[in-house]
A = this chain, B = another copy of it.
Amino acid sequence: MGCLSIDTDRFATRFEEFSEIGATDDGGVNRPALSPANKRARDTLIEWFQSAGLAVRIDTMGNIFGRRAGTDPDAPAVMTGSHIDSQYNGGRYDGVVGVLGGLEVLETVRDENIDHKRPIEVVAWSNEEGVRFQPDMLGSGVYCDVFDEDYAYARTDDDGVAFGDALSAIGYDGDAPCSADDLHSYFELHVEQGPYLEREDRSVAAVTGVFGFSWLTVTLTGQANHAGPTPMTMRRDPLAAFASITDRLRSITATTGSDLVATVGSVDVWPDAINVIPETVEFTVDLRSYDDAVVDDAVAQLHDEIAHAANREDVEFTTEEIMRVNADPFDQSCIDTVTNAMERLDCAYTTLVSGAGHDANYLNTVAPTSMIFVPSVDGVSHRESEFTEWSDVVTGTNVLAETIRQRATE
């Protein structure tokens, strides 16, 4: 038989309409988890699920599922999906491509009268981005038993509002159990959020796994003093140590492992005055590689640099690894299904490892999982200017359709 082919116009119309919800002036969307705009997006999604003939359920974490029954009432479901919450002033593709793409696949399966044994579900996970409630990926995390629901409900935003209260406030504290009891496999279509597909001029990738990472917080404590009368030789300046350590991260990435990336993203200086030598500098380090040993080595080298700089500047230091996640290879049979679909569709494809975490990581702990990436122009994500060529979105969604058909019918 020929390959499934989605309805490009229907998909594009829906995508444009969805992009209007919480739209920003600069072409992005502002729909953080459980915000009014996120509620409107949820309402719209459910309306579309229902009009597509899907059985809708909302679980106790507010995850939204649309289900199409299979011919075998006892078979576990093949699931696809992603998320519809956004960064503050984020992009319109991140997450949405996977959710609306999944819906489009289910409509195509219906239109083509595909006879599938297994049920197929499309899901929108709650609070993937983690910008309003930390940690991120709360909805899929509870579903996969990574977090207790009580823990998730108690997470608060910057205004002290708990996730559980915000969820019931928008009416999305559903009744369905939030647990992965009956899952055959999971496939997530997502934008790459990196430059590789564009650089290699490919339209789509099978994702073979996700980088492991270490998140560290470092505190350097010296002695605040007046910037004028304190000679350079008598300073205990934590900011000088910080600058040296951060500068050396480039050397660590250059020598430790070819795929290692290192980022200092957050810095807090106290007392933060133009004419006062700082007393404390707190900063974060994000170290990632697909090789856990490379992350280990980078953490060790970072500690050496911190100790060396702190000794030279005569400042105290503490370090804490606040999160450590090992590299996460996806299921080979799922990767093969995606690859085979790309072959059949004759796509310009490749395979990639993802530098960013996704709901698929948690799903991978409960069911065979893989992902499909489409290109991010200029590698940009988490910004209003995030963009993916529509032809690439279509290619990725056709790959998803073929993948889901294969898995649901086999």
Contacts and interface: CB of A to CB of B under 8 A. Distances in A.
Interface residues of A, number: 58
Contact of A228 (B244, B264, B272, B354): B354
Nearest to A281: B267
B277 A229 contact: no
B380 A225 contact: yes
A228 B265 contact: no
A255 to B, nearest CB: 12
Interface in A213-235: 213, 215, 223-232, 234
Contact of A230 (B194, B225, B228, B250): B194
A275 to B, nearest CB: 5
Copies of this chain, tallied across the complex: 2
A213 B230 CA distance: 14
Interface string A279-304: 00000101010000000000000000
A396 to B, nearest CB: 16
Interface string A220-261: 000111111111101001011011101101100100000011
Nearest to A309: B247
Given A227-B288, A265-B227, A253 B232 contact: yes
B261 A272 contact: no
A162 interface: no
B277 A267 contact: no
A1 interface: no
Q: Which 3 A-B pairs have the closest CB atoms?
A: A194-B229, A228-B355, A229-B355
Given A226-B355, A228-B286, A229-B356, 15 more contacts: A194-B229, A215-B274, A227-B288, A229-B355, A229-B379, A239-B264, A240-B247, A242-B243, A247-B247, A265-B275, A265-B276, A265-B278, A266-B269, A266-B274, A274-B284
23 contacts: A194-B228, A194-B230, A196-B231, A211-B228, A213-B228, A225-B382, A226-B355, A226-B356, A227-B265, A228-B355, A228-B357, A229-B355, A229-B379, A232-B253, A239-B246, A243-B246, A243-B264, A247-B247, A263-B277, A266-B269, A267-B269, A274-B284, A276-B382
